Amino acid sequence: MEKYILEKILSETASSEEKKQFGFWYEQSKENKEYFQKLKIIYSRMNNLFEKREFDKELAKLAIRTKAKSQINKSRKVNIRKWMAAASFLLIIGLSFYILTQFNKYQSNKITYLTNDSVRDFLLEDGSHVWLNENSYMEVSGNFMKKQRKVTLKGEAFFEVKRMENCPFKVKTGKTLIKVLGTSFNIKEDTLAGNVSVVVSSGIVSFNKLYHRWERSYLKPSDHAQYFASNNKIIVKENKNLNYLSWKTNILHFYHAPIKEVCKDLSIHFHKNIKTHISDPDLLLTGSFENESLDYILKVMEISLDIKATYSNHEYVLQKNNN
């Protein structure tokens, strides 16, 4: 956050766009909120000093001389309170400058990753490997590896975290927090609803609501945890979705999968609207597809399941073949 925007917010002179930028920054983390509250206190105290006492440079000099010469005539004594107010004012200014300097240093050290229409992978400073899905954003804290390993995620990512016993790895997503020492897991946020989904591939993952850390769930491999923002609850169950990582591997697996389930997975993977009204319990798909196009997969389904896929009004519809 730019320093001048914070100053305008404090002085109530910010424009609507600056207020919008501030609001987004303010809601990003608890640390940002705590930092701004401290600035408000400093700003309030500074205003009070200006309102209650007018700083007099000559009077301050006289107060210093009075402190050094204890034998000065009583009639020439100055008001020590004003000297202390001036000193306090300088102290507050110095403290405010130090806090802002440290914050700006922290901000400048942050690393951000952003994806649009492609998946991106990268290594963090600690050796952890991260894959960031399309249209996702990740921010690495400025003090990463110094006190803790912390990142903030919006969207979806798969983490292979390098184990470090004395330095836990934390992922803040929406209103949830993940904490691990060394493991691999996929985390996905529904940015509209605020829901968060976690599937563990290896190791143990600690998963909890952001401000309710005592309500902690420990997830093991093949566990699927979901946080629902509407009722502020976490539900843990066994993961039965074989394709939760298809966005990363580009491989689709189906084993005795009903047609409606296949349509759902294909819709998510290819970002297309694919549906069917077929409810035949005996019509199941088994097979794997690696780096194959949607048209190729639909052709295979038409031949193997004796169905027909039609495209109209920006959607695919799978129907039984009546020929």
3-state SS, one letter per residue, for 213-241? EEEEEEECCCEEEEEECCCCEEEEEECCC
CATH of residue 313's domain is 3.55.50.30
On whether both 191 and 225 belong to a single domain, the answer is yes
On whether both 149 and 268 belong to a single domain, the answer is no
Number of structural domains found in the chain:
3
Better-predicted residue by pLDDT, 16 or 2: 16
For helices 3-10 and 16-28, angle between their N-to-C axes, nearest 10 degrees: 110
On whether both 218 and 274 belong to a single domain, the answer is no
Summary mean pLDDT of the chain: 81
pLDDT score for 27 = 77
**CA 134, 27, 92 angle in degrees (round to 5)?**
135
Stretch (H or E) spanning 247: helix 246-249
pLDDT score for 265 = 96
pLDDT score for 109 = 67
On whether both 212 and 257 belong to a single domain, the answer is no
268 φ, ψ (degrees, to nearest 5): -70, -45
On whether both 162 and 201 belong to a single domain, the answer is yes
For the ranges 37-41, 79-83, 310-314, the lowest mean pLDDT is seen at 79-83
In the predicted structure, residue 83 carries a pLDDT above the cut 80:
no
Q: Which residues span the domain enclosing 150?
A: 111-238
Alpha-carbon distance of 34 to 203, in angstroms, equals 33
Contact 110, 103 (CB under 8 A): no
Better-predicted residue by pLDDT, 60 or 163: 163
Boundary residue ending a domain (109, 141, 175):
109
Stretch (H or E) spanning 183: none
On whether both 169 and 286 belong to a single domain, the answer is no
pLDDT score for 33 = 78
pLDDT score for 111 = 85
Better-predicted residue by pLDDT, 160 or 36: 160
On whether both 126 and 137 belong to a single domain, the answer is yes
For the ranges 75-79, 92-96, 139-143, the lowest mean pLDDT is seen at 75-79
On whether both 176 and 268 belong to a single domain, the answer is no
pLDDT score for 56 = 52
CATH of residue 234's domain is 2.60.120.1440
On whether both 207 and 116 belong to a single domain, the answer is yes
Stretch (H or E) spanning 157: strand 156-160
Boundary residue ending a domain (75, 109, 143):
109
Contact 157, 139 (CB under 8 A): no
Boundary residue ending a domain (181, 215, 238):
238
pLDDT score for 216 = 85
Alpha-carbon distance of 217 to 206, in angstroms, equals 6
Residue 65's pLDDT band, with cuts at 50, 70 and 90, is low
Alpha-carbon distance of 168 to 188, in angstroms, equals 20
Beta-strand ranges (E) seen in 161-306 are 169-173, 176-180, 184-189, 196-202, 205-209, 212-219, 223-228, 233-238, 251-258, 274-276, 284-290
The Cβ-side half-sphere exposure at 251, using a 13 Å CA radius, reads 6
pLDDT score for 50 = 43
Better-predicted residue by pLDDT, 41 or 246: 246
On whether both 170 and 259 belong to a single domain, the answer is no
On whether both 138 and 190 belong to a single domain, the answer is yes
Cβ neighbors of 226 (< 8 A, separation 6 or more) are: 195, 196, 197, 198, 234, 235, 236, 237
In the predicted structure, residue 291 carries a pLDDT above the cut 90:
yes
Largest interatomic CA distance in the chain: 116
Mean of the pLDDT values across residues 91-101?
A: 53
On whether both 122 and 223 belong to a single domain, the answer is yes
